[in-house]
Structure 1
Amino acid sequence: MEHSCGLVTKNKEPVPLKSVEVDVHVQGHVATVTSTLLYVNGEERPLEAVFVFPLPGECAVCHLSAKIGDTEVVAKLQDKQRAREKYDDALSSGHQAFLLEESDQSPDVFQLNVGSLPPGESAAITLVYISELDMQADNALRFCLPAVLNPRYTPQDMDRSQMATVTSVPAGTVPYTLALSANLSSPQPISKVESNCDLEPLAYLNPDKTQATVSLSPGHLFDRDVELLLYYDDAHKPTAIVEAGLDTAEPGSLMGDPVVMLSLYPEFPAAVTSSRNMSGEFIFVVDRSGSMDYKMHTGKDAKMRIASAKDTLLLLLKSLPMGCYFNIYGFGSRYEHFFPKSVEYNQKTMDDALEKVKGIRADMGGTEILQPLKHIYSQPCIPSHPRQLFIFTDGEVGNTKEVLDLVKKNGHSHRCFSFGIGQGASTALITGLAKEASGHAQFLTGTDRMQPKSSEHSEGSVTIQYNMKEDLIEEQLNFCLKPTQDTGVTLHRLGARALIRSLEMEERAAGPEAKALREKLLQLSLQSGVSCTHTAFIAIHKGSGQTVQGPLLHRTVPTPG
């Protein structure tokens, strides 16, 4: 099959997006990401470019601006419906307009409309988001710049007209370039940075190695998710960052009061973990939809997604304690389970399960994850054996919010650990599953890292206590209440994003109170400057005001697929 080369799509249409430049600023466990997308209209008529692309599911999108020549216009965050109307009105009046909105179905999918770009003109679009970095099994902090947006499977009972249209091209033929640089700052020394992409050498900026820079090697082709793994010394040492509130915000409000971000990642003593009672019910849920028969990534010797899921499943199966209970589910358009109900883990049942795992194939159609979860939740739990779910999926579902609502509803009795398989796995689904059920998310992208596993001088303190069976473990962290670094309102916006997500879940489950919750969401989104499902960023550049004759050329910007 012959693929088109250059700045054209597979339909031989020109692609107005020419390059993406990304600047990442990491402070401890938080990343502020500034992406600049350069659009150029090389055609003879004005055009509208539409780009549907992925972002981390829990990120806080807080800025959009456009620079046309020497003129810069900064977008305003508004009610989504009003923003859409203003965008259409601007195009009808002959002005340029830029609209950024979150998908109604999944918070890790965004759509950027660049409207009425005149022939020969360019526009540099800048968007900014803030994201918390997840700790991985090997104590690495993971930053991911998603490139791959897999088409999301739409359940049969869901309205397909509501789904964002994803345009993709084969990896290796993406018609725009990527340049990425990262500035790293940490309370502890930075020991190393690893990546699935080629990097320039890590450069330290101070003798104690708490500040450093790193960048992608020149000529990087934006054909895969870019993953940076940051390793800090003393990764388990608690840290605190204090951030002052906005002087212009109302006192007593989220944005007006100071906030503190605590990073607590305790290391359990070996004496405690080794004495744990060997109990529990472990249910493994494996995605066997057709998309699991794709490769993990576009590199050489890439495994198939289903093979990677099976390898990890086998590792976990062999690590279960004797005397626990377990079962394995496979799902696609339907679902099935190895045993009618969970069985006791012994040599025989383990051997039976290992043999069955070898026969698992990606042969079950679509990605209907909701039904197997409902079945699992309907089964009575085994006394004295806490139930834990381990979900393996490439995350290509359209009903993400409905799935997360169900997981949250059952989170008090079912802890959930999620594994995102391959590039393009929905971060909203994978991280959401773990977050709503007090578990942990792990992304398997091809690199095998799975291992057995205030006054000026006022001080604040926080104490964390937790029990491991009969042992009480305690850690205390003291910190200065005066802000020690300029973080702007980064932490406030992360807090606002978490509260927005919580309110969105409440709204979906609400009856008559839904309208009041929507107003509360709108108010919080507009006050914090963080987008939500009901708001969008809109920027208008008033040009000649001459109405465009005839329809605009419509160009979709592809993502690697």
Structure 2
Amino acid sequence: MMVRYCGLLNTNNEPVPLKSIEVELEVRDHVATVVSILNYENKEDKPLEAVFVFPLPGDAAVCHFSAQIGQTQIVAEVKEKQKAREEYDDALSSGQQAFLFEESEQSPDIFTLSVGSLPPGESASVRLEYVTELAVQADDGLRFCLPAVLNPRYEPQGSEGAGVQVTSVPASLVPYSLSFSVRVSSPRPISKVESCCSLEPLQYVNTEQTQATVKLAAGHKFDRDVELLIYYRDAHKPTAVVEAGQVSAKPGSLMGDPVLMLSLYPDFPQSVMSSLTSRGEFILLLDRSGSMGCPMSNGKRQETRIASARDTLLLLLKSLPMGCYFNIYSFGSSFEHIFPKSVEYSEKNLEDALKKVEAMQANLGGTEILKPLTHILSQTCISNQPRQVFVFTDGEVSNTKEVIDLVKKNSGSHRCFSFGIGEGASSALINGLAKEGGGHAQFITGADRMQPKVMQSLRFALQPAVVDISVTWDLPTGVSVTVLSPPITALFQGQRSLIYAQLTGQSSEAAEGSVMVKYSLAGHLSQNQLHFSLKPPEDNGLTVHRLGARTLIRSLETEEKEHRGQQDGGVKEKVVQLSLQSGVSSSSTAFIAVNKGNGEPIRGPLVRRPVPTPALMQRQACNLRAKKSCAMAARPKVKSGSVFTDINMKLKSMSRQKSTPDGMRASKEQVEMSLDMCDSTFSIQAQSKQPPRDPLMQLVSLQKASGCWLLDPALAAAVGKTSEEVENTKPSAVNQEVWATILALIWLHGFEMDAKPEWELLAMKAVSWLRAQNVPSEGVEAGNTLLGCHVQKDAMGL
């Protein structure tokens, strides 16, 4: 399929119509309601159709779509997708104004908005509303992301699916502005709100600090994702929220009955948590596509994604317990593995793996993740070694649903932990892998360090698997429950699990119900009980209902795909009916709005205008590299994206134009500056020289598989001393390896406490090794004296 590339101007030098985007975010506890208003203006002398492709969270429930043209307000209806498309086409052929909003069939996080038959000189305002759950991050922050970049969606070789066409331009040239405001409310005080973008100061609305507002600072260029992290006090408190049904809906229906949302934070016994398992088969799958050569962030720190991933793999491998098995796969247009099959964790195997990791570059072309996952999951499992798959990728693929279905199909034999690297990584892919694989998802964006988030997931992976999970309801006579969520397959210490349920019927006996969640962990039976009201106050937002409907729709869509080709076509009908009833989008429905107006058809041929999405200059340079790599690797097709040289041509063509679409002249200096930015960015990407490894990673690289360090010049340099200083201060009763290991542990506790989440697991392994050596007390005292620290033995775990 030929991809149409277009800059600020189209091939006829005519402007695109999107002028501004306004976003209002309301966060209630850990649920977000997002209202986006897209303002269009047709400055051309002919009617046109504008097409805007953009990402939303993969689990978002789109629940409202409306448009205003002049003084006329049109509210869209949810209809079966084919009917909606036919109605849209009929409206355009009749010269009427129409709007169509639909989800991509390849991935639930890509949507297309078509604005049809906008007359010359006319303005239109489109309002889109969706609700979504906010994920809990490693530091207990709730993460919301407003994506600015729709990355190129890689299509594997031989794929026949219809891709989404995306128009990309440099972010500085995107012809529309963004305003973004946030309201936060919670039963618990709000401690802070942080962002990768500049924010105005947080304003508390009440003295309890349970309500607050914040805005994006003026001048934001929308050249990066807008990511918010919201922090509450007592974030791990379980909650049960019951939302009253819609008054106008029929009792007994999903929207007519109350819906319950349970937020569970399991609390595992300390005795279990203090003895993490030493078993497991750890398979690390690393993306080595061309875009992994991009810098981690737009700041001064120019570490590339692949370099950060190499350091992360080093830290991860050093933190694995003795007795486990491991292997490392990497992929692009093809895939490689370090060992033919998983090997036992030993010093020799670890050294062999690290040599291969150190040589890894972002040079394998596209992003074909399905083939290596298929190979990994087809391997015979090792007895008594639970398989844990860690997936690292910055990409988006056109076969997202196929990849997630594969992980779900094999979820009984493994857990999957996923990591989205950089802005624009597909939320549907990253969250879907973890959700269906019974693991945990992490996103690493902006100035985030990858290492602490990956180490948190390793702690989860080392936790014993929770089994025999059961949910028992205690409800009065006359009230029944229908669980809308799929069964819980994974529980981790400190992480939230959500359950949605519909409550049908009424009781005159009691106004309260309860639910008990039981599970078994390493032979210990645990349980959590929550009470909830059966007489909730009326709620005008229906947020919980829509999230519950979205959860059920996703489950039914998966079931429908599993039964596709069989006689039973009733599942798709259920999806459509539920979507129509709840007003929540699905892959089988679409929002359609037609303005019948005064009956006067719009005259003239309809011109289609794709609206450009912003593309980072760094991303464009990486795309060129990825494209070259792909060409060398059997030339797989890339369905959408931006091409660096094409942007150069667009910018050069701008220098020959008298004005930009907004009537602003693009001076020769501006164009040359943009070209210089492109060239300098590419030269930065082309440099193979990496910044020197930081002292922490240098020390980590020297640790042995058993947990100890060797006494040599490299160890002395890592702790900031000479070989003579280290050797001359060693107590005679302490052997060399014990002395080196004590020094390493003291240095970590004395100089790197801020990074403790990164090195804690490998330090635990070192402490276990030391305990077996009967460490003399004078060793710790001498180490403190040499390094100028005051670290106590008990602080180190000795």
- State the TM-score, normalizing by the size of structure 2: 0.67
- Partner residue of 1:551? 605
After superposition, the C-alpha distances for 1:436-471 in whole angstroms (9 at most, x for unaligned) are 111111011133254243679722333333333133
- Partner residue of 1:337? 337
- Partner residue of 1:282? 282
Contact in 2 for aligned 1:68/1:123 (Cα 8 Å): yes
- Partner residue of 1:464? 517
After superposition, the C-alpha distances for 1:290-348 in whole angstroms (9 at most, x for unaligned) are 22223344444354332233333333222211211111101111111111111112333
State the identity as a percent. Answer: 65
- Structure 1, unmatched stretches of 5+, are none
- Partner residue of 1:100? 101
- Partner residue of 2:151? 150
Instruction: Provide closer, same or farther for how the CA distance between residues 289 and 204 of structure 1 changes in structure 2, counting only shifts above 3 A.
Output: same
Pairwise CA RMSD: 2.2
After superposition, the C-alpha distances for 1:151-199 in whole angstroms (9 at most, x for unaligned) are 1111122115x11111111233222111111111112111111111101
Contact in 2 for aligned 1:147/1:223 (Cα 8 Å): yes
- Partner residue of 2:127? 126
Contact in 2 for aligned 1:48/1:116 (Cα 8 Å): yes
Tell me which moved more, 67-76 or 457-466: 457-466
Q: CA deviation at 1:559?
A: 1.1
Q: CA deviation at 1:235?
A: 1.3
In 2, Cα distance between the equivalents of 1:105 and 1:345?
Answer: 39
Instruction: Provide closer, same or farther for how the CA distance between residues 302 and 79 of structure 1 changes in structure 2, counting only shifts above 3 A.
Output: farther
Contact in 1 for aligned 2:293/2:306 (Cα 8 Å): yes
Contact in 2 for aligned 1:418/1:441 (Cα 8 Å): yes
Q: CA deviation at 1:107?
A: 0.6
In 1, Cα distance between the equivalents of 2:11 and 2:279?
Answer: 54
Contact in 2 for aligned 1:296/1:302 (Cα 8 Å): yes
Contact in 1 for aligned 2:46/2:605 (Cα 8 Å): no
In 2, Cα distance between the equivalents of 1:406 and 1:351?
Answer: 32
Q: CA deviation at 1:15?
A: 2.0
Tell me which moved more, 125-134 or 166-175: 166-175
Contact in 1 for aligned 2:66/2:76 (Cα 8 Å): yes
Q: What letter matches 1:523 in structure 2? A: Q
- Partner residue of 1:109? 110
After superposition, the C-alpha distances for 1:56-85 in whole angstroms (9 at most, x for unaligned) are 011001111001122210001111111111
- Partner residue of 1:482? 535
Within the candidate set 583, 593, 609, 1:539 is matched to: 593
- Partner residue of 2:561? 508
Contact in 2 for aligned 1:131/1:494 (Cα 8 Å): yes
In 2, Cα distance between the equivalents of 1:251 and 1:486?
Answer: 16
In 1, Cα distance between the equivalents of 2:237 and 2:385?
Answer: 32
Q: What letter matches 2:575 in structure 1? A: L
- Partner residue of 1:78? 79
Tell me which moved more, 11-20 or 37-46: 11-20
Q: What letter matches 2:141 in structure 1? A: A
Contact in 2 for aligned 1:56/1:108 (Cα 8 Å): yes
In 2, Cα distance between the equivalents of 1:26 and 1:494?
Answer: 14
Q: CA deviation at 1:281?
A: 0.9
Contact in 1 for aligned 2:244/2:538 (Cα 8 Å): no
Q: CA deviation at 1:516?
A: 1.8
Q: What letter matches 1:534 in structure 2? A: S
Contact in 2 for aligned 1:94/1:545 (Cα 8 Å): no
SS in 2 for 1:172: helix
Contact in 2 for aligned 1:94/1:544 (Cα 8 Å): no
In 2, Cα distance between the equivalents of 1:282 and 1:557?
Answer: 44
Tell me which moved more, 235-244 or 440-449: 440-449
Contact in 2 for aligned 1:305/1:421 (Cα 8 Å): yes
Instruction: Provide closer, same or farther for how the CA distance between residues 434 and 24 of structure 1 changes in structure 2, counting only shifts above 3 A.
Output: same
After superposition, the C-alpha distances for 1:503-534 in whole angstroms (9 at most, x for unaligned) are 11122221324522211111111111111111
In 1, Cα distance between the equivalents of 2:165 and 2:276?
Answer: 49
Matched residue count = 557
Q: CA deviation at 1:546?
A: 4.4
In 1, Cα distance between the equivalents of 2:145 and 2:567?
Answer: 37
Structure index of larger Rg? 2
SS in 1 for 2:407: helix
SS in 2 for 1:479: strand
Instruction: Provide closer, same or farther for how the CA distance between residues 211 and 302 of structure 1 changes in structure 2, counting only shifts above 3 A.
Output: farther
Larger RCO, structures 1/2 (Cα 8 Å, 6+ apart)? 1
- Partner residue of 2:584? 530
Q: What letter matches 2:145 in structure 1? A: C
Q: CA deviation at 1:269?
A: 4.9
Q: What letter matches 1:517 in structure 2? A: V
> Which has more strand, going by share of residues?
1
Q: CA deviation at 1:487?
A: 5.5
Q: What letter matches 1:521 in structure 2? A: V
- State the TM-score, normalizing by the size of structure 1: 0.94
Alignment of 1:124-203 (within 5 A): 124-160=125-161, 162-203=162-203
Instruction: Provide closer, same or farther for how the CA distance between residues 52 and 15 of structure 1 changes in structure 2, counting only shifts above 3 A.
Output: same
